[in-house]
Structure 1
Amino acid sequence: MKHFFAILGGMGTLATTNFLVELNRHFHPDSDQAYFDYLLVNHATIPDRTDYILDHSNPNPAEALLEDIKQITPLRPDFFVMPCNTAHYFFDELQQATDIPLVSMLTLVADELKRTLPAGAKVGLFATKGTVRSKLYADLVTKAGFEIVEPSEDLQQAITSLIYDDVKEHSQANLKLYEEILEEFKALSVATTILGCTEVSYVNSHDPIRQYPIIDAEKLLVKETIRLAHITQKK
């Protein structure tokens, strides 16, 4: 392949699969040959990102991600995408390891916040404990001129259960718990809630109503992937 993009996946596998499902849902070429060329690396054995962020004595996921990037870079993809919010903790280190652009979900979310919300609005964060602890989104939201609303300890426990027990362990989209969590954010007067975990994005993909205001980082990445692939694969 001369022009293609590379997906750093497997964090987890179901979330990566959902990224592909959403890619297919939003891009409908009229023939097999009109579809995008891409390379998927489903590196499922990458250590848990949250475990490392919470305790650096645990295995470092960056080592496996850097290995993937070093293996793929000689193939010369046009760009990398990484459908895992928590893995963006290592974004700068990964980008420094290659001259090929790595698309940032964080940048996409920041742009969407600025485009859709009034200055000073409250923004909820629906994400793993690792992403919350890392302050990836908190710093981004504050820098963009908004007020971050992070989950309480009890709410974070519910979020963790949805991500790890329902999606990662049982491949289930627990819509009841998902809506209860969003309802709690709504009660905190947020203007929108960032879905900052691709397992949560998986549940959102199964929500037929979508009655709560959200910014889904994965869906933004899907749209940006399509936009960039249209540009690069026309070369």
Structure 2
Amino acid sequence: MAGSEVLGVLGGMGPMATVDFLRKLVEATPAARDQDHLAVMVAQAADIPDRTRAILGQGPDPLPAMTLALRRLEAAGATRLAIPCNTAHHWHGALQALTPIPILHIVDAVVAELAHRGLAGGPVGLLATDGTLRTGLYPRHLGRHGFTCRVPTDQAAVMRAVRLVKAGQGAEARPLLRAAAAALMAGGCRQVVMACTEIPLALCDAAEPLGAVLLDATDALARACVAAAVPASRAA
């Protein structure tokens, strides 16, 4: 692993989603020993205000708290940054304008994963927060690559599931998310993006019957971080 590379993780949105991202980062790394892994600094900034509430005009702006966490990661020596929260990417441009350190974009990572799976366009399902949907983040980015985005007819059930996961009740969230994903598949979506980092905590399981059509944005971001840091000869 390149010794000068230090990945800074602007996390805490939510805390368990950040832990899930770190696990996937380790699993995505082609390593035979401890020293082959990425050097990682984590700001588990759970005090960042709710992103969806802010986007919907119902809560305080999270940018100041995200900026403070960013400054901590800069001071710790981060050379590249990742934010394991889809909704927080509404502020990606504002954060990037504050630092010369490159911030990987989670939707770019999803686009790369769709290409890796052989998709060059068409309808894609989104399981995301109300805030992420309101921003148009995914339709805007995926639209440049020929994809159209479809959302569940029962978006309230998806938000209920996200709140359940945040409260540590993933088992209760699972049937809600599974039903939403199945409905998107029935509507013609070949892939369903888990575009909220809480959702894989409930839906990603080796025995998950919908696993082949679910695309985990958290995992895609982890892979993008490794690809950015590991020499191509090592990643092959």
Mapping for residues 193-232 of structure 1, pairs under 5 Å: 193-211=192-210, 212-231=212-231
The answer for unaligned runs of 5 or more in structure 2 is none
The residue aligned with 1:129 is: 130
1:207–1:151 Cα change, 3 Å: same
Given that 1:114 and 1:144 are in contact with CA atoms closer than 8 Å, whether structure 2 keeps it comes out as no
Count of residues in Structure 1 that have an aligned counterpart in Structure 2: 228
Q: Deviations over 1:18-75 (max 9, x none)?
A: 11122233336333333321101100110000000011x5211111111111232244
Where 2:149 maps in the other structure, the secondary structure is strand
Q: Deviations over 1:101-149 (max 9, x none)?
A: 0000111222333452243x11111100100111101222222212221
Match of 2:19 among 9, 17, 20: 17
Given that 1:19 and 1:222 are in contact with CA atoms closer than 8 Å, whether structure 2 keeps it comes out as yes
Say whether residues 1:146 and 2:147 are aligned partners: yes
1:34 and 1:112 mapped to 2: Cα distance? 24
1:227 and 1:171 mapped to 2: Cα distance? 33
Amino acid at match of 2:203: N
2:229 and 2:184 mapped to 1: Cα distance? 35
Match of 1:8 among 7, 10, 34: 10
Mapping for residues 1-235 of structure 1, pairs under 5 Å: 2-27=4-29, 29-55=31-57, 58-115=59-116, 116-119=118-121, 121-152=122-153, 155-165=154-164, 167-173=165-171, 174-211=173-210, 212-231=212-231
1:227 and 1:221 mapped to 2: Cα distance? 10
Amino acid at match of 1:7: V
Amino acid at match of 1:179: R
TM-score, normalised by the number of residues in structure 2: 0.88
Where 2:198 maps in the other structure, the secondary structure is helix
Amino acid at match of 1:43: A
1:24 and 1:210 mapped to 2: Cα distance? 25
Where 1:18 maps in the other structure, the secondary structure is helix
Identity of aligned residues (%): 29
What is the Cα deviation at residue 213 of structure 1? Answer: 1.1
The answer for unaligned runs of 5 or more in structure 1 is none
Alignment root-mean-square deviation, CA: 2.2
TM-score, normalised by the number of residues in structure 1: 0.88
2:38 and 2:142 mapped to 1: Cα distance? 33
1:14 and 1:210 mapped to 2: Cα distance? 23
Given that 2:151 and 2:184 are in contact with CA atoms closer than 8 Å, whether structure 1 keeps it comes out as no
Given that 1:49 and 1:86 are in contact with CA atoms closer than 8 Å, whether structure 2 keeps it comes out as yes
Where 2:63 maps in the other structure, the secondary structure is helix
Where 1:22 maps in the other structure, the secondary structure is helix
Given that 2:30 and 2:36 are in contact with CA atoms closer than 8 Å, whether structure 1 keeps it comes out as no
Where 1:198 maps in the other structure, the secondary structure is coil
